[in-house]
Structure 1
Amino acid sequence: MRYAIQWLRSLLYLIIIYAMIPITGVVFFPWALASPKGAHAACRFYARFSCWLLGWIVGIKTESRGTPPTDEVLIAAKHQSFLDIVMIFREIPAGKFIMKRELMWIPIFGQYTMRIGCVPVDRGKRGKAIQKMIQDVERGRIEPGQLVIYPQGTRVAPGKEMPYKVGTAVLYAQLGQDCVPVATNAGVFWPRRGLYLTPGTAVVEFLPRIPAGLGRETFLARLESEIETASDRLVEEAGFQKEP
């Protein structure tokens, strides 16, 4: 019975937050059309509302640790769930994401991501995607902000391994900015697939920044070690046990 009730709560929550995307988009549209600040305000409202409602309906509390950056930096984050996206965006003042190009075409959502400065890439053509990514980032540097990239390129379930891609190191060198790694355990509570959301405390942790100027191999090795070590610690703290 308890499982069935939690499943229904999860379904109700998902219905509400997906319905809120067009509602938020319409309400904020005049402001977003006039200024990117309006688009940022809409996305931040949606992120905060999603996290608040998650605790109220589903029983998942959201916690941020460390110091979220407010200056112009590259953020390299562990990606386990839709939840870690909204949790990170909630904490930073001018976030924009490296994202799959297909997301551009989602009505309302796609238009808002472009308005806040997100950078679409074609994952099917990695070499060209990296070059296009760099060009788009260069053109977008007029408006300072925090550019968020997922070094593994996709959501990775807790306990699973996937290599870190070179695109993050290329951006790090090209931008000449510090990099702030972010760890999470969000996938323990909001899985990559499925509708059942598990109560608990989801955490995103902003780790100490990696200074600009490191070599590619040194940077990638340090980034992977710090993110994976911290994420494993958070996942273990949440009670998740890796398969032997």
Structure 2
Amino acid sequence: MTILRSLLFNLLFFAFTAAAALACLPLVPLLDRAGRLAILAWWAERVLGLLRLTVGIRLRVTGAEHLPVAGPALIAAKHQSAFDTIVWFVLLPRPAYVLKRELLWIPLYGWYARAAGMIGVDRGAGPAAMRHLMRAGAAALAEGRQIVIFPEGTRTAPGTRRPYQPGIAALYARSGLPVIPVATDSGLSWGRRAFRKRAGTITVAVLPPIPPGLARAEMLARLETAIESETDRLLASAPPSA
């Protein structure tokens, strides 16, 4: 049954995404940034609805009071699943994801990501990538956007972790903003590159902001401790997989 429900979701997801992208494409040049983000939020809400109806995956958000309702912000989130690249279009008013540059080359998806002002970074470009992140990040924050960055730089399977990359520390120091840590257990229901989606509740745990002005090492240590300890708690309290 899980495989059949997963197959149904995947078929509907790709069909709906392609149809919606093609139908809305003529509107993109006519809309401002806010209008383009509204299209992505509309799409994301319906994808989450498909997950509920076909697979039985629901979303639970804790600590939502820590999320901004407007204005610039830094969100540093655990990344276990493709789910994490969808959900912030629903949770934030004007999100700007930091993502690998190659995603901007994908037909339709990449066009929308560029048009909506996502920040593509060439992870192999070294110092040039950091300079681009600082410029693009400053521009996004000046527009009142909320930057979503995955500090490990890629998806990690539940129970694993990677070193935190310097991008979040540089954005934190340059912007003078607090950074909001976020933990999740999304990989339990929607695994990394996994066809099978498992019924359950994905928790997005928004944690208290880390205040601005800390030294780089202290901020990174506090950020990693907050995200990883809460992620471990979520995984330990999750019901066994069916």
User: TM-score interval w.r.t. the shorter chain?
Assistant: over 0.9
Rounded to whole Å, the distance in 2 between the matches of 1:36 and 1:147 is: 15
Partner-residue secondary structure (3-state), 1:125: coil
How far 1:196 moved relative to its partner?
0.9
Number of residues of Structure 1 aligned to a counterpart in Structure 2: 237
Query: Which residue in 1 is equivalent to 2:238?
Result: 238
How far 1:30 moved relative to its partner?
3.9
Q: 1:84·1:204 contact (CA, 8 Å) conserved in 2?
A: no
Report Cα offsets for 1:27-64 as digits up to 9, x if no partner: 33344322222211111111111111101100111111
How far 1:106 moved relative to its partner?
0.9
Q: 1:80·1:155 contact (CA, 8 Å) conserved in 2?
A: yes
Query: Which residue in 2 is equivalent to 1:9?
Result: 5
Rounded to whole Å, the distance in 2 between the matches of 1:240 and 1:225 is: 25
Q: 1:28·1:39 contact (CA, 8 Å) conserved in 2?
A: no
Mapped pair 1:60 → 2:57: yes
Query: What is the 5 A alignment of 1:74-223?
Result: 74-223=74-223
Q: 2:72·2:143 contact (CA, 8 Å) conserved in 1?
A: no
Which residue identity lines up with residue 21 of structure 1 in the other structure? T
Mean alpha-carbon deviation: is it higher for 218-227 or for 103-112?
103-112
Rounded to whole Å, the distance in 2 between the matches of 1:210 and 1:153 is: 20
Q: 1:59·1:199 contact (CA, 8 Å) conserved in 2?
A: yes
Report Cα offsets for 1:185-219 as digits up to 9, x if no partner: 00011000221111111111111111111110010
Mapped pair 1:28 → 2:45: no
Which residue identity lines up with residue 69 of structure 1 in the other structure? P
Q: 1:80·1:187 contact (CA, 8 Å) conserved in 2?
A: yes
Mapped pair 1:40 → 2:37: yes
Rounded to whole Å, the distance in 1 between the matches of 2:143 and 2:54 is: 37
User: Which structure 2 residue ranges, 5 or more long, are not aligned?
Assistant: none
Q: 2:141·2:147 contact (CA, 8 Å) conserved in 1?
A: no
Partner-residue secondary structure (3-state), 2:51: helix
Rounded to whole Å, the distance in 2 between the matches of 1:151 and 1:13 is: 29
Rounded to whole Å, the distance in 1 between the matches of 2:188 and 2:126 is: 29
Rounded to whole Å, the distance in 2 between the matches of 1:234 and 1:240 is: 12
Q: 2:34·2:94 contact (CA, 8 Å) conserved in 1?
A: no
Report Cα offsets for 1:80-136 as digits up to 9, x if no partner: 001122222211110110111001111111111112211110111233211111112
Which residue identity lines up with residue 150 of structure 1 in the other structure? F
Identity of aligned residues (%): 38
Mean alpha-carbon deviation: is it higher for 124-133 or for 152-161?
124-133
Rounded to whole Å, the distance in 2 between the matches of 1:240 and 1:102 is: 36
Q: What TM-score results when the alignment is normalised by the length of structure 2?
A: 0.93
How far 1:228 moved relative to its partner?
0.5
Q: What TM-score results when the alignment is normalised by the length of structure 1?
A: 0.92
User: Which structure 1 residue ranges, 5 or more long, are not aligned?
Assistant: none
How far 1:26 moved relative to its partner?
2.6
Q: 1:96·1:147 contact (CA, 8 Å) conserved in 2?
A: yes
RMSD of aligned Cα (Å): 1.6
Partner-residue secondary structure (3-state), 1:82: coil
Report Cα offsets for 1:159-191 as digits up to 9, x if no partner: 112111111101111111111111100001100
